[in-house]
Chain A
Amino acid sequence: MSVKELTHQIFSRERLTAQRLAITLAVLAMVLIAASVFSIAVGSEHVGFTNVIRVIGAEITGHAADVSAEQRIIIADIRLPRVLMAIVVGAALAVAGSAYQALLRNPLADPGILGISSGAALGAISATIFAESLPISRPVAAFGGAVITIAVVYAVGQGRRESGTVRLILGGVIINALLSSIVIFLVTSVAGARQRNVISWLIGDLSGESRLLLPVAVFVLIGIGAVYVNARSLNLMMIGEQDALTLGVEARRVKIAVYLAASLLTGAAVAVSGAIGFVGLIIPHAVRLVGGSDNRLVVPASALVGGIFLMLADTIARTAVAPRELNIGVITSLIGAPVFVYLLRRTN
């Protein structure tokens, strides 16, 4: 297949075929791997590309790599887990965003805007302040916060027919404001010496421990899988719930499953990295702009693009002012806000 045909397959908003889906995802997966190698190769300390390949090869095959101990630790124990964490968190946030956007039939829906990130953050911050000694309390509390928040937002947003979606967004905005105030209250008056930890984490941070990587990755895979199996139903519901019903979609079951899955994704992401904005908003937008709005493409492609985006953003955060680090939330907002404005204007 020529490059021209390939780009034609990817940059098409026509009806989705199995071939087009497979090609798009395969190309994105290759970009993801290339971007990972690049991200692992750059940082405050110099390690060569060849050493990166050697160490990763050694990690996979189990042989000892012919590099210094420090280089091996930097590549395999510091950068690799961090890159993988960025991929997992980016994928989770982007798929959560695509799920909310499809469910609510509103392109502005996003874990941040609906207040779900704030709910998860409040849960996790409360755990940090009140139950610091329990290591598992933070992810569990974050998931709990996300689920409770979406339930409250949904209850607030329940309205008569079509007004429901708008009310849901407004409900999210209001809950978001409320939760942010509670978070600020906790941080300024209760957190004491732990204040700085909490603040750094409020704007997002991926530099933490890698022992959470595996459980979070499992949760995120389950969440993405659960959204993906409902992708076709979401397509039909985007036309309208009433129409979907006549086409045999159990709208209520699909809604609950996707809400829970998206909350799981948000909770898992926020628990390990804090509230990182804009990923859930701009990534599904960008994917739809290029490949059309069929959720069977949007969901998996968002996962891959979200992973690539957050990993590269984190690479900027690590390297821009090395050896100091920037907060990744600052980077995603600086990139995300203008991109979002551009996307909005383009779609208009």
Chain B
Amino acid sequence: MNAHRLNAADRESSTRLRRIVSLVLFSLLPATLTISVSSCSSRKNSPVTSRTVTDELGRIVQVPAQPQRIVSLAPSITEILFALGVGDRVAGVTSYCDYPPAARQKTPVGDTLKPSVERIVALKADLVIISTASQVEASFRKLEELGIPVYVTNPRTIDGVVESIDKIGELIDARERALELTDELRRRITNVETRVAKASRPSVLVILGTEPLITAGAGSFINDLINRAGARSISAEEVADYPQYSIEAVVARQPEIILLQAGGNELIERLRQTPAARSNRVYHIDDDLLLRPGPRIVDGLEQLAAKFHPELFERDS
């Protein structure tokens, strides 16, 4: 009985309540939506002299004829720009861009994963260059939305890096310097390859993460480097770029050489049943040289080849 009375009273106040809330809700939100819609519509960005280029993902990008305020969103790209002698045209870099030392003087725009889009805008960037090796899609779509040209590089191999340098040279109007640089890099790569061509190819385990043990698969950059330096990776057949391996899988494959980043001594202790550990052929690698697809990758290649085939490179060291 009581419940029924309550119910009726409730229903009455409920209609009133509903009306008021609907009013508040529906007046508040559409207002904010109009703002957002209008904010997306107006755009004013037409560089005086511009041209269209195709980037390494096949995207068509409209860029200034000679970009003056370039933002680099990868350490490798910063290295390329400085190697091309256009460091003075670099307006912003990531917090990881530490080479060459002059790069540290540039304005940081955040890390490679989540750069600050508003800082890039504040820097009046006229070109943003990113690398698929280290970039998140979301931020680059946002830049496109704002009308800032975004050029994407996609080097998958050491040859790809050299090509990338040529293309960036063209992009930023530094073609001659780029050709000079890439000729030199190609000459050094060929030099390494001719030296190791006839040598036997030792098996290599590259350790990119120790807990769990992460190594490199067929599509990875370092796999190509190991090949070109005259060795073969024990995980060269893996489909995933960075597969996880068990200790026993490694021991079963009996690598003759182990490459690892700083630390990892405990892991090596557990891998003592491998030819690499027994013959003391465990080498620490310099990530900056081997994992950054920039010009110093050839330094990395030469260092690797010297470690794989010390007998062939004795004269140099």
B36 touches A213 (CB 8 A): yes
B227 at interface, CB cutoff 8 A: no
Option from A17, A79, A193 in Cβ contact (under 8 Å) with B241: A193
Interface size class of A (residues with CB under 8 A): 35 or more
A76 touches B39 (CB 8 A): yes
A25 touches B39 (CB 8 A): no
A80 touches B138 (CB 8 A): no
Scan residues 19-52 of chain B and give those whose CB is less than 8 A from a CB of chain A.
Answer: 20-22, 24-26, 28-29, 32-40, 44
Stretch at the interface among B104-112, B252-260, B265-273: B104-112
A246 to B108, CA, bound (A): 66
Name A73's closest neighbour in chain B (CB-CB): B121
A77 touches B219 (CB 8 A): no
A47 to chain B, nearest CB (A): 9
A211 touches B40 (CB 8 A): yes
B119 touches A207 (CB 8 A): no
Residues of B within 8 A of A209 (CB): 138, 141-142, 145
A116 to chain B, nearest CB (A): 23
B219 touches A21 (CB 8 A): no
Digitize A292-307: 1 where CB-to-B-CB distance is under 8 Å, 0 elsewhere: 0000100010010000
Stretch at the interface among A149-157, A224-232, A335-343: A224-232
B247 at interface, CB cutoff 8 A: no
Option from A32, A79, A205, A232 in Cβ contact (under 8 Å) with B118: A79
A59-B39, A213-B36, A217-B29 known; A208+B138 contact, CB < 8 A: yes
A205 to B142, CA, bound (A): 13
A69 to B3, CA, bound (A): 63
B71 to chain A, nearest CB (A): 11
Option from B17, B25, B111, B124 in Cβ contact (under 8 Å) with A70: B124
Residues of B within 8 A of A210 (CB): 36, 39-40, 142, 145
A247 at interface, CB cutoff 8 A: yes
A289 at interface, CB cutoff 8 A: no
A18-B16, A196-B113, A232-B10 known; A74+B121 contact, CB < 8 A: yes
**What's the dominant secondary structure at chain B's contact region?**
helix
B7 at interface, CB cutoff 8 A: yes
B39 touches A325 (CB 8 A): no
A56 to B119, CA, bound (A): 20
A80-B39, A214-B37 known; A296+B14 contact, CB < 8 A: yes
A80-B39, A192-B241, A300-B21 known; A87+B32 contact, CB < 8 A: yes
B13 at interface, CB cutoff 8 A: yes
B114 touches A200 (CB 8 A): yes
B115 at interface, CB cutoff 8 A: yes
Residues of A within 8 A of B24 (CB): 22, 25-26, 29, 300
Scan residues 66-122 of chain B and give those whose CB is less than 8 A from a CB of chain A.
Answer: 95, 108-111, 113-119, 121-122
B244 at interface, CB cutoff 8 A: yes
B25 touches A300 (CB 8 A): yes
B94 to chain A, nearest CB (A): 9
Name A55's closest neighbour in chain B (CB-CB): B39
A51 to chain B, nearest CB (A): 13
Residues of A within 8 A of B39 (CB): 59, 76-77, 80-81, 210
Residues of B within 8 A of A29 (CB): 24, 28
A174 at interface, CB cutoff 8 A: no
Residues of A within 8 A of B139 (CB): 207
B139 to chain A, nearest CB (A): 6
A323 touches B36 (CB 8 A): no
B280 at interface, CB cutoff 8 A: no
B53 at interface, CB cutoff 8 A: no
B121 touches A323 (CB 8 A): no
A119 at interface, CB cutoff 8 A: no
A22-B20, A323-B108 known; A84+B121 contact, CB < 8 A: no
Interface residues of A (CB under 8 A from B): 16-18, 21-22, 25-26, 29, 32, 43-45, 56, 59-60, 62, 69-70, 73-74, 76-81, 84, 87, 188-190, 192-193, 195-197, 200-201, 205, 207-211, 213-214, 217, 221, 224-225, 228-229, 232, 246-248, 296, 300, 303, 322-325
Interface residues of B (CB under 8 A from A): 3-4, 7, 10-11, 13-14, 16-18, 20-22, 24-26, 28-29, 32-40, 44, 95, 108-111, 113-119, 121-122, 124, 132, 134, 136-139, 141-142, 145-146, 219, 240-244
User: A192-B241, A200-B136, A221-B25 provided; 16 other pairs, C-beta below 8 A?
Assistant: A16-B17, A17-B13, A25-B21, A44-B119, A59-B38, A74-B121, A78-B146, A81-B40, A192-B240, A195-B242, A201-B138, A210-B36, A247-B4, A323-B110, A324-B95, A324-B114
